[in-house]
Structure 1
Amino acid sequence: MDLIQKYSGDPDSILGNVHLHEQDFSSPYNELPLAQFCNLFEEAARQTGNSNFGLHFGGQFKPHHLGAIGYAAISSPTLSTALRSMEAYFPAHQGQSSFGLLQDSDILWLSYRIFDPCISNRRQDAELSMGMFLNIFRHALGPEWAPLEVRFEHETPDAAYEHEKLFAAPVRFGRRTNAFAFRRRDLDARMPSQDPYLFSVIEPFLKSRCELRRSPESFATIVRNQIKLHLGDMPPTISEMARIFGMPDHTFQKQLREHGLTFQDLVNAARKELALHYMEDSDMHLTEVAHCLGYSELSAFSRAFRNWTGMSPQRYRRT
């Protein structure tokens, strides 16, 4: 509400147009449908005339304002464990979305996007969310920390220079997902407000919400994100994934069956997502792409890529 008024907007008009009331924000236990949340920020941007409203909101949004998942992040011992917690418990915070890390040699990408096909207007959400995630990194690494590059799935907006100013990094638009790149060594940073007791209080709450909201889509996203992090010389095995999730092999396989999933389908989906990500880098040779996806031969990768896209990797890059 303060930011709307700062940019000379009318809070009552904006809330009324998206069928919300100010009391909907009065309790931290209230929840908004994701589509309504996105519409709120799109309407705020429209009525205030500030097309970067979401960007400005995210830039000043502190990690603890995210609620339980924000407190879980800042009470973690390191940035690495903070991101792992956010990835594991993101479904407790927001549904119909993916949040995770992509590995690219010694570079990692934090990736976020809404996958609900009914939500088409989501630029403001993307920009405010990436700003929020940026501030979690800056909480650990200092206010001057900057990512290596930032990407957004929407097209280049007006006043795009404000994005580079906020992130202090090159910003690309019209990409496959919303993401920013950082060096692997950044994960070792200590969280200055780590609090094991607070984390032990919050984690059971997040776990219980995840169980209530568990869906095939969210479970598949979490597993797929872990597979993407461990692809390389060869794809990870069920046993390796079970160990990462801290459960016996048979329990992990049971969860896959209960969600109607197969491990090989998740490996293939992870490879496809990473392949499309790597193909955006024209300097990356196809043999290197194949190796990073766990294929021993370029021909095997080419066959798989043709099945995914209907064209060869070479033709995909030309077009």
Structure 2
Amino acid sequence: MTGPTISVVVLRHIVHCLDLAGFPPEPLLAECDIRRESLDDTRAIMPLADYLAFFEAAAERAGNPCLGLQAGRLGGADSLGALSFLFFSAPTLRAALTGFDTYLGAIQEAVRHRFTVSAGIATFEYALTDQALQNRRQDAEFSLALMYNLCRSFVGPEFELVEVRFEHSRQGNARLHRDLFRCEVYFDQETNSFSFEESFLSRTGGAIDPGLFPIIEEHLERSAGDPLRRHGLVREVRRLLEGSALDEPVTLASVAMTLGVSVATLNRALRVDGLRWRDLVHERRMTAAARLLRHSQRDIAEIALAVGFSESASFVRSFARHYGHTPKRYRDAGSDGS
């Protein structure tokens, strides 16, 4: 597999939720060339793009635009394999979220995940970093709903959120979102995240013996392995670029320092694949802009800033050269279904 991957354990949970909803997943699994028995292999991985396509198609076929939310609400200690058990064996919620943040990469690639605390508010952030992965609504809603459910199961029913944010636009009535998260929910935001009072971080769990935490952590650390050895140099360069902010991407020099090689070595490796660093940065910006135009209601000037342009005129020119259409025409064509 050349693209980003995800553990089949995650898809197994989605399939189980379809079963519970009375929607037979077998025809869609067959269309996606996925054997149901393969979902029981905890070491197996699949292309992240295929997982996202299955999730979006399942929601559409089942006539359930909130499938991701509902699947997240049903998440538990076995939903993410060893990562879920690490979460519930943590001594405190802070340790649980820190461990999750550290080892999510062991089961899913091309994801930016951060757990931060500032001014008394803790925030968990989740976003796919591969801008070519366009349809991501179900995954985003599933991921935040699942994390909220894990936190609430760890702390208890008194766990409350301050706010929830999603990258994508609202579709229809957001009542189900507010009912699930029990707080204000905002759409067309820069990332997917939820926030809560810092005081909850010291709460203890007890669902699983905390003595298992270091054992599970060691297992996940071995599973993650050395990314450079696992991915190869050029793919690791792409991964580090994708993981940086769109409006302030990493430099080639900082990537070289992270990987422990020289800038000249990186440039040579890119040239072998017919690539240049500046082209990778530009392509990522344009792909992100196209996704935001099609899947959000943010205005063009805001999108220009979000993808790293200081003013909208240069963004419009650059986008038109890249795609052959102005941003407005590109967005209008998408809304017309063309």
1:41, distance to aligned residue in structure 2 (A): 1.1
Q: Give the structure-1-normalised TM-score.
A: 0.67
SS in structure 1 of the partner of residue 72 of structure 2: helix
CA contact (8 A) 1:152 1:173 kept: yes
- Of 108, 111, 127, the match for 2:125: 111
CA contact (8 A) 1:111 1:177 kept: yes
* Residues 266-304 of structure 1 deviation map (CA, whole Å, 9 limit, x = unaligned): xxxxxxxxxxxxxxxxxxxxxxxxxxxxxxxxxxxxxxx
> Which residue of the partner structure matches residue 298 of structure 2?
none
1:259–1:173 CA distance, 2 compared to 1 (3 A):
farther
1:46, distance to aligned residue in structure 2 (A): 0.8
1:164, distance to aligned residue in structure 2 (A): 0.8
Q: Separation in 2 of the partners of 1:218 and 1:310?
A: 25
> Which residue of the partner structure matches residue 49 of structure 2?
35
**One-letter amino acid of the counterpart of residue 206, structure 1:** L
Paired residues, number: 241
Q: Separation in 1 of the partners of 2:95 and 2:19?
A: 37
SS in structure 2 of the partner of residue 20 of structure 1: coil
CA contact (8 A) 2:55 2:139 kept: yes
> Which residue of the partner structure matches residue 260 of structure 2?
258
1:41–1:93 CA distance, 2 compared to 1 (3 A):
same
4+ residue runs over 3 A deviation: 5-8, 212-222
1:32, distance to aligned residue in structure 2 (A): 2.1
Q: After the TM superposition, which of the residue ranges 26-35 and 71-80 deviates more from structure 2?
A: 26-35
SS in structure 2 of the partner of residue 148 of structure 1: strand
1:161, distance to aligned residue in structure 2 (A): 0.8
Q: Separation in 2 of the partners of 1:309 and 1:114?
A: 21
Q: How does 1:67-86 map to 2 (within 5 A)?
A: 67-86=81-100
Q: Is 1:126–2:128 an aligned residue pair?
A: no
> Which residue of the partner structure matches residue 48 of structure 1?
62
1:217, distance to aligned residue in structure 2 (A): 6.7
CA contact (8 A) 1:39 1:121 kept: yes
- Of 149, 164, 171, the match for 1:150: 164
Q: Which runs of 5+ in 1 are unaligned?
A: 226-252, 262-304, 312-319
1:40–1:143 CA distance, 2 compared to 1 (3 A):
farther
CA contact (8 A) 1:91 1:218 kept: no
SS in structure 1 of the partner of residue 112 of structure 2: strand
CA contact (8 A) 2:129 2:242 kept: no
CA contact (8 A) 2:75 2:150 kept: no
1:102–1:2 CA distance, 2 compared to 1 (3 A):
closer
**One-letter amino acid of the counterpart of residue 310, structure 1:** S
Q: Separation in 1 of the partners of 2:227 and 2:105?
A: 7
Q: Separation in 1 of the partners of 2:117 and 2:139?
A: 24
> Which residue of the partner structure matches residue 314 of structure 2?
none
> Which residue of the partner structure matches residue 202 of structure 2?
188
Q: Give the structure-2-normalised TM-score.
A: 0.64
- Of 154, 165, 168, the match for 2:179: 165
- Of 39, 52, 66, the match for 1:25: 39
Q: Which runs of 5+ in 2 are unaligned?
A: 1-14, 229-235, 246-254, 264-304, 312-338
1:55, distance to aligned residue in structure 2 (A): 0.8
Q: Separation in 2 of the partners of 1:98 and 1:259?
A: 24
CA contact (8 A) 2:127 2:140 kept: yes
**One-letter amino acid of the counterpart of residue 258, structure 2:** L
Superposition RMSD in Å: 3.0
CA contact (8 A) 1:112 1:179 kept: yes
> Which residue of the partner structure matches residue 66 of structure 1?
80
